Amino acid sequence: MDKFTSLTGVAAPLPMVNVDTDMIIPKQFLKTIKRTGLGVNLFTEMRYNADGTENPDFVLNKPAYREAQILVAGDNFGCGSSREHAPWALLDFGIRCVIAPSFADIFFNNCFKNGILPIALPQEEIDKLLDDASRGANAVLTVDLEKQVITGPDGGSISFDVDPFRKHCLLNGLDDIGLTMEKEDAIEAFEAKQSAAQPWLTGAQA
């Protein structure tokens, strides 16, 4: 998993409440177990017309936001079914940070496990960031995870909270597998001890 330390990028405004995971990545795209290739289908039903052409009114289709790395969204983002494909699709598109008043719990947890930083802020702070995000190509925010500060295009800053353990994981690029591999020496020592004490478990001769 890529490390998340500080991110400077265009922020796209999506001031919709209750954006569920089926809106983020519809169910017909859940057949794959790959984490790549889903970005093109992110927000499919809003991004594309019935004939497959782009909807020019959808924010991520607008020239200023095609390379957005930050999404400023509405309340209860990521609600609905517990599909990990939702953060996969966001990440594959290029979104590394989602800022909203609140998140569905499972989606919130899945973001951290996949290298996305979800930030929950009071609505009045979200409104300020939505105003910043409305500036098109000038809607550049800097999210500094180490300092836990968001800096807007006018230099104003907003502090945010993050769980210390999750912060540690993002700063060091540690997903569940990475966390396990930090204990590799202890795991190998246990396996060697167990194999010596109970050799039949590994097929060795007693």
Which is nearest to 1 in space by CA: 187, 204, 173, 186?
Answer: 173
- Assess whether pLDDT exceeds 90 at residue 172: yes
Could you tell me if 118 and 146 are in contact, meaning their C-beta atoms sit under 8 angstroms apart? no
Please give the domain boundaries of the chain with CATH numbers for all domains: 6-199 (3.20.19.10)
Angle, in degrees to the nearest 10, between helices 164-172 and 105-113: 40
- Assess whether pLDDT exceeds 80 at residue 99: yes
* pLDDT given at position 47: 97
Distance of CA 90 to the CA centre of its chain: 6
What digits encode the pLDDT tens for the residues 32-74?
888 889 999 999 999 999 999 999 999 999 999 999 999 999 9
As a whole number of Å, the end-to-end CA separation of the chain is: 41
pTM of the model: 0.87
Which of 20-34, 44-58, 155-169, 178-192 has the lowest average pLDDT? 178-192
Could you tell me if 95 and 71 are in contact, meaning their C-beta atoms sit under 8 angstroms apart? yes
Backbone angles phi, psi at 146, to 5 degrees: -60, -40
- Assess whether pLDDT exceeds 90 at residue 160: yes
Residue 53 CB neighbour total at 10 angstroms: 9
